[in-house]
Amino acid sequence: MALIVQKYGGTSVPDAERIKNVAQHIIDRRNGGDQLVVVVSAMGDTTDKLIKLAYQVTEPPSERELDALLSTGELVTSTLLTMALRHMGYEAISLSGAQAGIKTDANHSRARIVDIDPTRILRELEQGRIVIVAGFQGITDDMDVTTLGRGGSDTTAVALAASLKAAVCERYTDVEGIYTSDPHLVTEARRLREIGYEEMLELAAYGSKVMHPRAIELAGEFNVPILVASSFTDSPGTLIHGEVSMEVRNKMRSIAHDLDVAKIMVVGVPDRPGIAAVIFGPLAEAGISVDTIVQNASINNITDLTFTVTKSDLVKAMIVVEPIAMSIGARECVSDARLGTISIIGTGMQNTPGYAARMFSTLSKLGINIQLITTSEIRLTCIIEESRVKDAVRALHQAFQLDLEG
């Protein structure tokens, strides 16, 4: 008998009928003899509806109040799912984040879990109950309700799995696992049977929307295996874990892409120490997240500084950057919102040469101009024109033979 943490996303529980289906899915697992702790998200578009309601009253809403409001979405799902399980004859109990002992800091709307007190969960498990936990939420020392922000329910599930020393954290959604590329784009895209934490992190950071990097990072830190699978099919899914087999480690694993990329170039800046801080400090203060940063080699003490932001942040970023650029003597400040990234990812890149060359020649054959290149030990990313991203992904998938079983 193992202890399993499961997590069901909002697309798995849009209405009463699908909640019953999830209950059956849980029961099938339970009948195998395991103890189950199940984390749920809010039903379908509940969170969006609550946010809309808040914005009808005020703009922007107080973060403390918005957290208390949004947390009700997960409470509704957890109680309904518990009712469904009991209806089917299984002992179950719902717990709010507070009841589940999920203690966070007081950073409303983006709280971090600081501790988990599993006393109540363990007591309920001992009594033979399936424990249904409202995801995405916790409580401060002062008994104020917080939400965990993006990737919140996944983070709840992984943190609980770590705290309870669960055998695995099973994460169910409407996708069947992690693919060699986006299956909507590349028809030959293949589901991966397993993937390491680092590869998965790069994938999440560079375009895969399947999981937020935060939960993957936490899982890696506590060595919690995550099974990503669909609650609608019997596909075995993808296991994200730390013991990926040797052979798999030597491969190129996947092609990620991201269409939400805009570029800002600060051109002709007199090169002196500290110009990066002068520009990126105010951007961070404005809550704008900067991805890739490239500074050209300086010629005659004049340099260019290029960086990327998401498209939705571009206008706000230009308002921050332009006056700064002028004040430090830059010649001009230009932007381009019609960009995208393609990334090849795999631990195999660490010890096998030739991957970069194959990527560049593939893009070259398609006549695609590479605007920026960034790398990590297990990733190579090119920024290209948005309109060529899809062609590039398909061509790279073929060039690296990702359709062949690894």
Residue 333, classed as helix, strand or coil, is strand
Q: Is 109 in the site for a copy of itself (CB under 8 A)?
A: no
Report the distance separating Cα 182 and Cα 256, nearest Å. 7
Other beta carbons within 10 angstroms of residue 143's beta carbon come to 7
Closest CA to 317 of 307, 304, 328: 307
Among 34, 45, 65, 188, binds a copy of itself (CB under 8 A): 65
**Residue 79 within binding range of a copy of itself, rule CB under 8 A:** yes
Q: With CB under 8 A as the contact rule, which of the stretches 96-104, 210-218, 249-257, 366-374 interacts with a copy of itself? A: 96-104
Assess 99 for contact with a copy of itself (CB under 8 A). yes
The H or E element that residue 103 is part of is strand 102-104
Sign of the alpha-carbon torsion through 236, 237, 240, 245: positive
Does 96 bind a copy of itself (CB under 8 A)? Our answer is: yes
Q: Report if residue 19 touches a copy of itself, rule: CB under 8 A.
A: yes
According to the binding rule CB under 8 A, does residue 156 interact with a copy of itself? no
SS3 call for 256: strand
Q: Is 98 in the site for a copy of itself (CB under 8 A)?
A: yes
Which of 34, 44, 51, 54: binder of a copy of itself (CB under 8 A)? 54
Produce one character per residue of 57-81: b if its CB has 16 or more CB atoms within 10 Å, e if not. Answer: eeeebebeebbbbbbbbbbbbbbbb
Per CB under 8 A, the segment of 12-20, 271-279, 358-366, 379-387 that binds a copy of itself is 12-20
Piece in contact with a copy of itself (CB under 8 A), picked from 11-19, 272-280, 331-339, 351-359: 11-19
295 is an interface residue for a copy of itself by CB under 8 A? no
Q: Is 125 in the site for a copy of itself (CB under 8 A)?
A: no
Per-residue burial over 303-331, b = 16 or more CB atoms within 10 Å of its CB, e = otherwise: bbbbbbbbeebbeebbebbbebbeebebe
CB of 86 or CB of 358, closer to a copy of itself: 86
Asked whether 295 and 305 are in contact (CB, 8 A), the reply is yes
- Residue 122 touches a copy of itself, criterion: CB under 8 A: no
Comparing CA positions, the residue from 136, 150, 149 lying closest to residue 63 is 149
Under the binding rule (CB under 8 A), the answer on residue 18 touching a copy of itself is no
What is the Cα–Cα distance from 384 to 392, expressed in whole angstroms?
9
**Shortest distance, position 111 Cβ to a copy of itself, whole Å:** 16
Distance CA 374, CA 380 (A): 6
* 27, 93, 204, 305: which one binds a copy of itself (CB under 8 A): 93
Phi, psi of 298, rounded to the nearest 5 degrees: -80, 135
57, 277, 297, 404: which one binds a copy of itself (CB under 8 A): 57
Q: Which stretch binds a copy of itself (CB under 8 A): 67-75, 163-171, 192-200, 348-356?
A: 67-75
d(CA 302, CA 278): 16
Instruction: Return the range that interacts with a copy of itself (CB under 8 A); candidates 79-87, 108-116, 290-298, 367-375.
Output: 79-87
CA distance 104 to 157: 14
373 makes contact with a copy of itself (CB under 8 A): no
- Size of site (CB under 8 A) for a copy of itself: 39
Contacting positions for a copy of itself (CB under 8 A): 16-17, 19-20, 50, 53-54, 56-59, 61-62, 64-66, 68-69, 71-72, 75-76, 78-80, 82-84, 86-87, 93-94, 96, 98-99, 120, 143-145
